[in-house]
Structures are given as structure tokens and as C-alpha cells.
């Protein structure tokens, strides 16, 4: 029984790391390639360039934190990741790491909602198995 639990944990950790790595790559591309291109060419992308790093970054952070610590329930991890994202966004001007932007708050809240919905869908599909 212990071997099976260890195998499940290893598979879970591999998935979380892969999701984190993919999220890191996509967030980096949006931050350092897509956003400068949109701004330099004065393209209207409906604010995606400005808020995508907050949206994608929060999801990436969730997978990073989940990889290293799964002691909290899934819903609590989602909630605290979202709360941390909002707090970070509000405190950015004080740390001089960026500007406060309501669009980023909305992106963070949407990312939190997406994580929650994905967790609910995953739980429902596991119950059906």
C-alpha cells in the first residue's frame, strides 16, 4: 500500500512540475516577447499584454507552491495563492516593483476562479471514475 501512495505522489509531483515549467515558459514569453511587441507596435489587444503576466503568473505560482507544499487543502491553496497575488499587486508601488493596476487585480481574480473551476471539474471527473 505504501509503494502505491509513493508512486501516486511521484506522479503528482511530476505533473505539478511540468505544469509549473510550462506556465513559467508561457508567462516569460508573454512578459518579455508578447508584451513589448504589442506596446512597441501600438496594437490594441484589449489589455491582454498588460494583464496576462498577472493571470498566468498566478497560475504558475499556484503550481510552484503546490509542488513544494501540499499540506493545505486544494481550495485553501487556491485561495491563499489568489490572496497573495492581490496583496502583492496592491503593495507593488511600495516595493517599487511595478504599478498598481485594477486590470491586474481582475486578472488575478479570474486566474483564481479558473483554478477553482479546474479543481471542481477534476474532482467531479475523479468521482465518476
Cβ 78 vs Cβ 112: under 8 Å: yes
Cβ 82 vs Cβ 111: under 8 Å: yes
Quote the pLDDT of residue 64: 96
Give the count of beta carbons closer than 10 Å to the beta carbon of residue 99: 9
DSSP one-letter code for 75: H
Give this prediction's pTM.
0.89
Q: How many domains does the chain have?
A: 1
Report how far residue 64's alpha carbon sits from residue 20's, in angstroms, rounded to the nearest whole number: 6
Give the range of the structural domain holding residue 79, as residue numbers without chain letter: 2-128
Q: Which residues of 65-95 are buried (b: 16+ CB within 10 A; e: fewer)?
A: bbbeeeeeebeebbeebbeebbebbeeeeee
pLDDT digit string, tens, across residues 12-69: 999 999 999 999 999 999 999 999 999 999 999 999 999 999 999 999 999 999 998 8
Amino acid at each position: 500500500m505504501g509503494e502505491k501512495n509513493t508512486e501516486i505522489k511521484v506522479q503528482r509531483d511530476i505533473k505539478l512540475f511540468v505544469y509549473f515549467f510550462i506556465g513559467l515558459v508561457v508567462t516569460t514569453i508573454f512578459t518579455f516577447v508578447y508584451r513589448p511587441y504589442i506596446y512597441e507596435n501600438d496594437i490594441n489587444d484589449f489589455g491582454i499584454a498588460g494583464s496576462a503576466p498577472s493571470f498566468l503568473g498566478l497560475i504558475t505560482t499556484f503550481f510552484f507552491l503546490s509542488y513544494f507544499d501540499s499540506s493545505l487543502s486544494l481550495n485553501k491553496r487556491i485561495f491563499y495563492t489568489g490572496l497573495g497575488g492581490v496583496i502583492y499587486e496592491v503593495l507593488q508601488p511600495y516595493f517599487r516593483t511595478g504599478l498598481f493596476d485594477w486590470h491586474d487585480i481582475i486578472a488575478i481574480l479570474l486566474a483564481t476562479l479558473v483554478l477553482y473551476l479546474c479543481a471542481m471539474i477534476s474532482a467531479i471527473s475523479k468521482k465518476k471514475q
